[in-house]
């Protein structure tokens, strides 16, 4: 009998790719998602569905019953408002509930999907790794702070309660089934000629399918209490935008924006958002983030989780194909 895996947030960008990877590896899959959601990301898949609120322990305990593993991918990734009690409820309290459910169900392993931002980053010649201390508290973003706090809960439960758990921490992902969309918005904007330039920073990127493979492989291959950064190529924004433009068949953004200009735009973006109660295109914390070199090495995950390293241009091609197929590029998606 195949093992059954509960995937929280299984209808999301990474979550739906994790579901597909699990099915490819012949696991039985149960998806825990909000009631009433019928995302296109799971259409046609042979899965069980369990509806509930991650903030309600009883819902998670019911969903976890009879499962051999749990992959906790559900999270709020909102960056506005920068401080929000909802993020703590979902990312921290929700993770606490998943931990308690995993212990009650006596699962073989819980894999917590964190964020690479919970580890310190570095420049291209000294990228951050799993031993690098948290640095992102300086941005004042509850998303990063709550993911860091939630990861701490998981590690504490391993040490205190004997929880069998592994942490995987994806970097910035491109690929298919980005229904929100998230990274797909960058592709849409560049394809539409709405990005005139680029900031001086850079990030680490990975194909979402590779990240999903890493998360699933961690069920068996991940060491208990260990963390793994799921990344691949470290690129400046200039390099990334050029790759996206090449795939989309348009001219790349050409204007280099100094960090002072980027941060000034972010300052006024935050001011506008706070006054009018709307999310700005770029906030001050985000402008500070994109002005830095946020690079990571995935060497540990490549070595221990057999993390694939698909070229990022392939991830962009796969993302664009999915966005086109689902009418995001012409603005008629449902």
**pLDDT beyond 80 at 166:** yes
Is residue 101 assigned to a domain?
Answer: yes
Look up the pTM and report it: 0.96
CA distance 254 to 238: 8
- Rounded Cα gap, residues 156 and 175, in angstroms: 33
- Kindly list the distances between the CA atom of residue 307 and the CA atoms of 125, 290, 331, in Å, as whole numbers in the listed order: 21, 26, 34
In a domain, 121, yes or no: yes
Query: Does some domain include residue 289?
Result: no
Task: State how far the Cα of 80 lies from the Cα of 84, in Å rounded to an integer.
Answer: 8
Select from 124, 298, 279 the least CA-distant residue to 200.
124
Residue 258 lies in a domain: no
Rounded average pLDDT over 171-182: 97
Tell me, yes or no, whether 13 lies in a domain.
yes
Residue 33 lies in a domain: yes
For residue range 279-302, what is the model confidence (pLDDT) as tens digits? 898 898 888 988 999 999 999 999
Residue 334: per-residue pLDDT: 61
Least reliable range by pLDDT among 144-148, 165-169, 259-263 = 259-263
What is the count of structural domains for the chain? 1
pLDDT of residue 321: 98
Banded pLDDT at 171 (limits 50, 70, 90): very high
Range of the domain at 213: 4-179+204-234+296-312
> Binning pLDDT at 50, 70 and 90, where does residue 331 land?
confident
Does some domain include residue 76?
yes
Asked whether 111 and 72 are in contact (CB, 8 A), the reply is yes
Task: Give Cβ neighbours of residue 273 (< 8 Å, ≥ 6 apart).
Answer: 80, 81, 279, 280, 283
Question: Does the residue 243 lie in any domain?
Answer: no
Looking up residue 30, the CATH number of its domain turns out to be: 3.40.50.720
Please tell me the predicted confidence (pLDDT) of residue 36: 78
The proportion of the chain whose per-residue pLDDT surpasses 90, expressed as a percent, equals 86
What is the per-residue pLDDT for 128?
98
For 210-226, how does the pLDDT look when each residue is reduced to its tens digit (9 = 90+)? 999 999 999 999 999 99
Q: What angle do CA 198, 204, 206 make, to 5 degrees?
A: 115
Q: What is the dihedral of CA 182, 166, 1, 65, to 10 degrees?
A: -80
């Amino acid at each position: 009998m195949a093992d059954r895996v509960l995937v929280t947030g299984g209808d999301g960008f990474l979550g739906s790719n994790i579901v597909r990877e699990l099915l490819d590896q012949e696991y039985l899959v149960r998806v825990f998602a909000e009631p009433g959601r019928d995302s296109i990301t799971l259409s046609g898949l042979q899965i069980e569905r369990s509806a509930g609120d991650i903030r309600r322990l009883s819902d998670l305990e019911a969903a976890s019953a009879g499962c051999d593993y749990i992959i906790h991918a559900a999270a709020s990734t909102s960056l506005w408002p920068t401080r929000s009690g909802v993020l703590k409820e979902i990312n921290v309290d929700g993770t606490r509930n998943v931990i308690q459910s995993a212990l009650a169900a006596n699962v073989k392993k819980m894999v917590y999907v964190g964020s690479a931002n919970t580890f310190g980053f570095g420049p291209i010649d000294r990228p951050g790794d799993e031993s690098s201390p948290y640095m992102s508290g300086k941005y004042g973003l509850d998303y990063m702070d709550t993911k860091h706090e939630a990861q701490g809960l998981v590690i504490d439960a391993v040490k205190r309660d004997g929880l069998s758990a592994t942490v995987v921490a994806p970097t910035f992902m491109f690929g298919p089934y980005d229904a929100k969309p998230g990274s797909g918005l960058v592709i849409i904007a560049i394809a539409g000629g709405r990005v005139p330039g680029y900031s001086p920073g850079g990030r680490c990127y990975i194909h979402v399918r590779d990240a999903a493979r890493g998360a699933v492989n961690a069920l068996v291959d991940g060491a208990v209490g260990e963390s793994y950064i799921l990344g691949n190529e470290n690129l400046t924004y200039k390099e990334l935008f050029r790759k996206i433009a090449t795939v989309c068949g348009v001219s790349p953004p050409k204007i280099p924006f100094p960090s002072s200009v980027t941060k000034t735009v972010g300052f006024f973006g935050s001011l506008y958002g706070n006054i009018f109660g709307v999310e700005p295109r770029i906030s001050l914390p985000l402008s500070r983030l994109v002005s830095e070199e946020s690079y990571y090495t995935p060497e540990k995950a490549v070595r221990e989780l057999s993390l694939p390293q698909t070229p990022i241009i392939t991830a962009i091609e796969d993302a664009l194909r999915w966005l086109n197929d689902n009418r995001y590029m012409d603005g008629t998606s449902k």
